[in-house]
């Protein structure tokens, strides 16, 4: 088969080697590939592996024999799923490979910001020492309130780490989860976003990005937060109105932010609209890498190959995601994980 993999910057040595060893034609394309070049590459492609690259209607239209689009990752917003399904193309992702991993990354950012570790480390690097003045006063997590927006697998892992690990009170906003379900995971369900924001000392976002959650944290929501509040986002950049967040941070309206994801990636120091974040000592900027551990990548590669084999052997493709956009592909050759 001919297999095209975009986003070659994200190395998948096991996937690439196995596919080549099996005799398949593997075409690797950069994240910066143009739509025109991508259309040409997929014209005779059987399987398209992608991570960040946009797979729009024109790309799908150009694919004459494409059987499946496999997202080697979680988010599927970059794929025109209706267009794919209309042509009989299955879309599948790898949703479970980094649940604990991303939660650990989010928790690490929270802990580091609460203890002012980036700022103190910067002071140590420049001045060799920092005396215990009010400027360096940090805060405990024990006894404080962590508000989680989006209480799926990663959100629940975050809740466990903060609640059982550091004795924080954990509250959650998720209209699609019952009070009983959240309680089983140590989370107190809060019915309104405003109430959660007003109560929380720390906020961690773990929601899916869709029309309902786009800019779920905007200027009005930021104004509801405590001045000492810290926001962590390891989910999707557009969950937050990032320019409003930057303004709040620069004005001292909130206590800090840990960001692993951005609406426009990658960041840069010269032209990016969020470049002033680099100047702030109460911000952690991570390059969309909370998922990137040896263990998580091993799981990702193995599951990606499993989905490839299913397509190659003309077997039903296993859908593990609970996202309705993927679950609703029942008219195609898929099987849903129970």
Q: Is the pLDDT of residue 108 over 80?
A: yes
User: 313: which 2 tokens?
Assistant: 């052997």
| Predicted confidence (pLDDT) per residue in 109-144, tens digit | 999 999 999 999 999 999 999 999 999 999 999 999
Strand ordering across the sheet containing 188-189: 188-189, 169-173, 145-149, 202-205, 230-233, 256-259, 283-285
Distances (CA, A) of 283 to 101, 157, 262: 21, 23, 14
pLDDT, averaged across the chain:
97
| Residues tagged active-site | 236, 265, 288
| Predicted confidence (pLDDT) per residue in 228-264, tens digit | 999 999 999 999 999 999 999 999 999 999 999 999 9
Whether the CA torsion 315, 321, 322, 326 is positive or negative: it is: negative
The pLDDT assigned to 338 comes to 66
The pLDDT assigned to 37 comes to 98
283: left (phi over 0), alpha (psi -120 to 50) or beta: beta
| Predicted confidence (pLDDT) per residue in 282-325, tens digit | 999 999 999 999 999 999 999 999 999 999 999 999 999 989 99
Distance CA 102, CA 290 (A): 5
| Predicted confidence (pLDDT) per residue in 34-83, tens digit | 999 999 999 999 999 999 999 999 999 999 999 999 999 998 989 999 99
| Predicted confidence (pLDDT) per residue in 7-31, tens digit | 999 999 999 999 999 999 999 999 9
- Is residue 215 very low, low, confident or very high in pLDDT (cuts 50, 70, 90)? very high
The pLDDT assigned to 45 comes to 97
């Amino acid at each position: 088969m001919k297999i095209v993999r975009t986003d070659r910057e994200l190395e998948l040595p096991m996937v690439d080697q196995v596919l080549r060893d099996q005799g398949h034609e593997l075409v690797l394309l950069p994240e910066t590939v143009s739509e025109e070049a991508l259309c040409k590459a997929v014209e005779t492609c059987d399987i398209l592996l992608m991570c960040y690259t946009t797979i729009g209607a024109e790309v799908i239209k150009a694919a004459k024999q494409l059987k499946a689009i496999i997202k080697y990752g979680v988010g599927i917003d970059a794929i025109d799923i209706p267009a794919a399904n209309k042509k009989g193309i299955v879309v599948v992702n790898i949703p479970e490979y980094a649940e604990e991993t991303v939660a650990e990354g989010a928790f690490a950012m929270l802990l580091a910001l609460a203890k002012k570790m980036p700022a103190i480390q910067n002071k140590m690097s420049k001045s060799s020492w920092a005396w215990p003045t009010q400027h360096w006063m940090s805060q405990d997590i024990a006894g404080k309130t962590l508000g989680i927006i989006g209480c799926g697998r990663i959100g629940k892992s975050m809740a466990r780490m903060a609640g059982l690990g550091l004795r924080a009170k954990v509250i959650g906003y998720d209209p699609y989860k019952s009070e009983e379900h959240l309680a089983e995971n140590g989370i107190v369900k809060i019915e309104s976003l405003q109430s959660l924001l007003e109560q929380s000392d720390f906020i961690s976002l773990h929601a899916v990005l869709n029309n309902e959650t786009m800019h779920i944290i905007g200027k009005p929501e930021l104004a509801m937060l405590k001045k000492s509040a810290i926001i962590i986002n390891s989910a999707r950049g557009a969950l937050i109105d990032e320019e409003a967040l930057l303004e709040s941070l620069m004005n001292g309206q909130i206590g800090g932010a840990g960001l692993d994801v951005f609406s426009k990636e990658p960041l840069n120091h010269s032209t990016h609209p969020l470049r002033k974040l680099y100047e702030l000592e109460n911000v952690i900027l991570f390059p969309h890498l909370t998922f990137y551990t040896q263990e998580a990548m091993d799981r990702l590669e193995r599951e990606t190959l499993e989905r490839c084999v299913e397509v190659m052997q003309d077997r039903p493709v296993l859908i593990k995601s609970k996202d309705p956009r993927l679950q609703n592909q029942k008219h195609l050759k898929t099987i849903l994980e129970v």
